[in-house]
Amino acid sequence: MANIFEVPQPDNNLLKKADQVRLASIKISQTENQNRIKALNLMADYLERNTKKILEANIEDYKKAQNRGISNALLSRLKLSEEKLNSGIDGVRKVGNLADPVNQVQIKRELSKGLILERKTVPIGVIGVIFESRPDAVMQISSLAIRSGNVVMLKGGSEANLTNIAIVNALQEGLYESGLDKNAICLLTSRKDSMSMLNLENFINLIIPRGSNELVKFIQENTRIPVLGHADGICHLFVDNEANLEMALSVALDSKIQYPAACNAIETLLLHKDIAKVFLEKAIPLFDSNDVKLIGDKRSFELGLKYEASLEDWQTEYLDLILSIKIVDDLDEAITHIQRYSSKHTDGIITENSHNANRFMNIVNSAGVFHNCSTRFADGFRYGFGAEVGISTQTLPPRGPVGLEGLVTYKYFLKGDGNIVHDFSSGKAIYTHKDL
C-alpha cells in the first residue's frame, strides 16, 4: 500500500466488456442447478470436439515461447499434452457432479408473525482470474465458476494466448448451446487489460491469482477487490523430544520431497534439542540420498550439516530440494519461531505427547495445524472437497484449501405482509425468533 498505485484505469473497450460480463452474471445467477450441470457437460463436449485445434494452438504457442527463450519451468507448464487436456476435460465433468453450492438455506426464521427471514447462498458474481502459463487452469477455474453460478474474466500469460483462446472458444460454444450467455467466460489477452482489471472494483467481486508469489503479492497490493489466495507458503514441521523418530524421519522426508514445488511442502524443520543429535544422525544420510540440501542454524551445523543458515533462510520459500533446520530448546521456542516466520499456511508437530500436540495446535495460528502427518495433505482434494479454488493464508474465512464454497456468498431475504418496525416499538407486535 506504500507503493505508488501504477495500475492503469480501464479503457472504454474494457469497460464495455466488463459490462457484458456483469449482465451475463445477472443471467447465470438466476439459473437452476440443472442448467449449470448441462452447461458443464456441453463445455466438456466442445473441448473434446476441439481437441485437435487446442493442441495445435498449444504447439504454436510453445514454438514461439521457445524462440523467445522462455525458461524451462515455464515451458513445461505451458505444454499441453493430449493427456493433460483429457484430464482437464475430465475435471470439467467432475465439477459438474459436485453438489450445488448455490441456494443453500443457512437460516430460515420467523422473526414475527408473517415476517420470514431466509439466508441463502448466492453466487459471488464476477470472478477475475489472473494466471501465468498453465492453460489447464482455464478449464478448471471456468468450470468451478459456472458450477457456482458465477462468471469469469480471465487473463492468462501472453505466452499461452493461442491455447487460451482455443480453449475459451470451445467453452463458450458449450455455454451457448446450453442456453447460457457466452459472455459468462471472458478472456482478456493484452497485458494492459490484465492490469486495468485490478481497477474494475465496480464490476469484479473477487480476484483469484494463480502464479508466482510475486504476481500474487503485486495483485494483493494493487487492488481494492478482495483477493483469494496466498503468496508465500513457508510451512514448518517441529520434531518434539517425545516424537517417534522413525515417524518423524518419514513424515519430514515426505513433507519436503513428495512435491517440493508445492506450497504445502515444508521449508523449515525445527528439532527439539534433546533429540536433535540422534535425529540428524539418521536424517543427514537420508536427505542426502534424496538430494536434499540441508541448511542449518549454528547448533545443527555443529552436529554435521554442511551449510549454515542466515536470517534469510527462515524467510525463504525454497520451492526446491532445500530444507533449513533449526534446533530449539523446547516447544515454546518452536512455536515462537513459527509465529515469527510462518506464512500461516500449514505447520505440523511430530510427538507422542498429546498435551504438547494440543498446545501446539491451539497456539499456532495457521490455516492448518497438523499432528503426526505430512504437511502435504493440506489440499482441497485430499480434504475431500472435490475441487480446489485456491488456498488462503489469511485469518478470516475462507481459510486454508477453499472448495466450491469459496465461490458463493449469502444474502438475507426478508418477506413480510406490510410489517413495520414502529409496531414493535409501540408494543403492538413482538419478535418470535422461531427457527423454521
Q: Which three cell numbers stand for residue 216?
A: 500474487
Nearer to a second copy, 68 or 411 (CB): 411
The full DSSP string for 258-296 is SSTTSTTSEEEEEEEHHHHHHHHHHHHHHHHHTTPEEEE
Least distance (Å) between residue 308 CB and a second copy? 28
Nearer to a second copy, 43 or 275 (CB): 275
- Residue 236 DSSP symbol: E
Nearer to a second copy, 24 or 187 (CB): 24
Least distance (Å) between residue 397 CB and a second copy? 5
Q: Name the residue type at position 424.
A: F
Least distance (Å) between residue 259 CB and a second copy? 8
Three-class DSSP category at 218? helix
C-alpha closest to that of 92 among 164, 37, 130: 37
> CB-based burial of residue 71 (10 Å sphere; 0-12 exposed, 13-18 middle, 19+ buried)?
exposed
List of residues 6+ apart from 390 with CB closer than 8 A: 208, 210, 228, 229, 230, 402, 406
354 in Cβ contact with 240 (< 8 Å): no
Containing 349, the helix (H) or strand (E) segment is strand 346-350
- Residue 183 DSSP symbol: G
Torsion angle of alpha carbons 239, 240, 243, 245, nearest 10°?
40
Least distance (Å) between residue 55 CB and a second copy? 27
Nearer to a second copy, 288 or 332 (CB): 332
> What is d(CA 340, CA 332) in angstroms, rounded to the nearest whole number?
12
Nearer to a second copy, 158 or 244 (CB): 244
Nearer to a second copy, 174 or 376 (CB): 376
Least distance (Å) between residue 409 CB and a second copy? 5
- Residue 348 DSSP symbol: E
Q: Which three cell numbers stand for residue 84?
A: 493433460
269 in Cβ contact with 324 (< 8 Å): yes
Nearer to a second copy, 149 or 174 (CB): 149
Nearer to a second copy, 61 or 347 (CB): 347
Least distance (Å) between residue 343 CB and a second copy? 13
Least distance (Å) between residue 123 CB and a second copy? 10
End-to-end CA distance of the chain: 46
Least distance (Å) between residue 334 CB and a second copy? 14
Q: Which three cell numbers stand for residue 236?
A: 514448518
Nearer to a second copy, 53 or 399 (CB): 399
Least distance (Å) between residue 226 CB and a second copy? 6
> What is d(CA 207, CA 228) in angstroms, rounded to the nearest whole number?
6
